Amino acid sequence: MRAYQILPGDGIDGLQCVDFPHRELGNGEVRIRVHAVSLNYRDLMVASGNYLVTVDDPIIPCSDGAGEVVATGPGVTRVQPGDRVAASFFPYWQDGPTAPDKVRHALGGDVDGMLAEEVVLDEDALVKIPDAMSFVDAATLPCAGVTAWNAIFESSNAVRPGDTVLLLGTGGVSILGLQLARAAGLNAIITSSSDTKLQRAKELGARHVINYRTTPEWQEEVLRATDGAGAQVVLEVGGQGTVNRSIASTAMGGSIAIIGGVSGFGGEVNPATLLATAKRLVGVYVGSRAMLEKVVRFAEATGLQPVVDRVFTFDQAREAYRHMESGSHFGKVVITVT
Ligand SMILES: NC(=O)c1ccc[n+]([C@@H]2O[C@H](COP(=O)([O-])OP(=O)(O)OC[C@H]3O[C@@H](n4cnc5c(N)ncnc54)[C@H](OP(=O)(O)O)[C@@H]3O)[C@@H](O)[C@H]2O)c1
């Protein structure tokens, strides 16, 4: 079977397609024929060697994939051949709050990931997907979908229908956050560097859109759009360049889910901007298998179809990475495998 490998730090040109022999399945292991893989900003960080965790040997990249179970090892009870499944970002975080042991490994980060024709995973890392959900759609959920879900529905103060969620930029996490928010009856405000992308976000139901290039003090616009109240939840993916504006955009008692740093990490936060307003900064690190199950169930119940910007073939993996790197995408970038 063929799989891509990359040595973190070697860049996109370091992606190599390699032939691997089959290996025997051990206790509790499952062989999956991968049909689709989605890319995350994190996969660019792994390629450039800037991800949180790293390894000294080449790994199979990408956390997010979906496919079909083709064989099960001894003792497997959760799935059977023919089942359609997606893999959970953290193979050892099944449920409950996070813990060091649960997030000790992440697919495509420090252990082999999903950019392969076949993968072998522990049965506990798998979530069944409904027949009506395509492999392409399912492949968008494990990182971006779960992160947005966790930020809005699990880690922040309870949101209620009619509350407002603020999303920064129109990448994978933000557009899935927009879709989840709208499907749950929440108002959404979204920013982007592109008016064309903002128009598309409006068509997806964003109530208010702001171009952060032409409106650099966009937090003022968020407050105006919410009659001075601010957003109950902010999905903060910007980092250094946006976190203080995100705090200013948040309602009293609201939460700023600290997710990413597309503008870099660092900078300062003044504690005084949080205390009298009881705002909460909450770190979000993807989420558990149980959260992935909830996202899948929610998508099935609401008919949510993740926005897929472009689909590349397995042989075009480098092109897919470069497309993601260009920042021209809106929503998710997917690679179909078999
Ligand atoms: N903590 C976690 O568990 C977790 C999980 C997933 C992702 N993340 C992080 O979240 C971030 C986004 O990930 P992703 O996969 O959604 O990335 P992505 O699809 O590549 O999206 C990035 C988008 O960010 C927007 N952007 C760039 N600079 C910006 C700025 N200064 N202010 C506001 N928006 C800006 C751009 O949108 P426009 O083109 O519309 O301007 C760009 O398309 C990354 O830092 C990633 O590492 C963290």
Residues 201 and 320 reside in one and the same domain: no
Q: Is 41 in the pocket of ligand 1 (CB under 6 A)?
A: yes
Is residue 151 assigned to a domain?
no
Provide the residue range defining the domain that includes 191: 156-283
147 Cβ below 6 A of ligand 1: yes
> At which of 266, 283, 300 does a domain end?
283
Residues 164, 89, single domain; the answer is: no
Specify if 149 maps to a domain. Answer: no
Whole-number Å distance between alpha carbons of 315 and 296: 28
CB of 194 closer than 8 Å to CB of 175: no
Which ligand 1 atom minimizes the distance to the CA of 175? 16
Q: CA-CA distance, 219 to 213, in Å (whole number)?
A: 13
Residue 48 counted as domain residue: yes
Q: 193: Cβ below 6 Å to ligand 1?
A: yes
Interhelix angle 41-48/317-326, nearest 10 degrees: 110
Cβ of 201 less than 6 Å from ligand 1: no
Beta strands 118-122 and 29-39, pairing class: antiparallel
Q: Specify the pairing of strand 84-87 against strand 126-128.
A: antiparallel
- From 146, 202, 237, the mutation candidate for ligand 1 (largest count of ligand atoms within 8 A of CB) is 237
The answer to the question of residue 325 being in a domain is: yes
Q: Is 176 in the pocket of ligand 1 (CB under 6 A)?
A: no
Helix or strand (DSSP H, E) at 127: strand 126-128
Ligand 1 pocket check for 144: Cβ under 6 Å: yes
Please tell me whether residues 60 and 116 are part of one structural domain: yes
For residues 54 and 90, state if they share a domain. Answer: yes
Phi, psi of 194 (to 5 degrees): -125, 125
Of 261, 283, 305, which residue is a domain's last? 283
256 burial level (CB within 10 Å; 0-12, 13-18, 19+): buried
CATH code for the domain in which residue 97 is found: 3.90.180.10
Ligand 1 binding pocket mutation candidate from 12, 39, 41 (most atoms within 8 A of CB): 41
Q: What is the mean pLDDT of each run of 10 residues along the chain (338 residues)?
A: 96 96 95 98 95 88 98 98 98 97 96 98 98 98 98 92 97 98 98 98 98 98 98 97 97 97 92 95 98 98 98 98 98 96
CA-closest candidate to residue 225, choices 241, 206, 242, 247? 206
How many angstroms does the Cα of residue 236 sit away from the middle of ligand 1? 9
Are residues 130 and 161 located together in one domain of the fold? no
Closest by CA position to 202, among listed 234, 225, 232: 225
DSSP bridge partners of 312? 335
How many structural domains compose the chain? 2
Whether residues 278 and 293 fall in one domain? no
pLDDT score for 338: 83
Ligand 1 centre and the CA of 90: distance in Å?
20
Structure token pair of residue 301? 């119940």
Whose CA is closest to 130, among 183, 72, 196, 83? 83
Tens-digit pLDDT profile for residues 142-175 = 999 999 999 999 999 789 999 999 999 999 999 9
pLDDT value of residue 52? 82
Kindly report the CATH number assigned to the domain that includes residue 278.
3.40.50.720
Cβ-based neighbours of 86, under 8 Å, separated by 6 or more: 64, 65, 66, 126, 127, 129, 138, 139, 141, 142, 292, 296
Distances (CA, A) of 55 to 14, 38, 42, 200, 265: 15, 21, 15, 39, 21
Q: For residue 317, which of 332, 337, 331, 301 has the smallest C-alpha distance?
A: 337
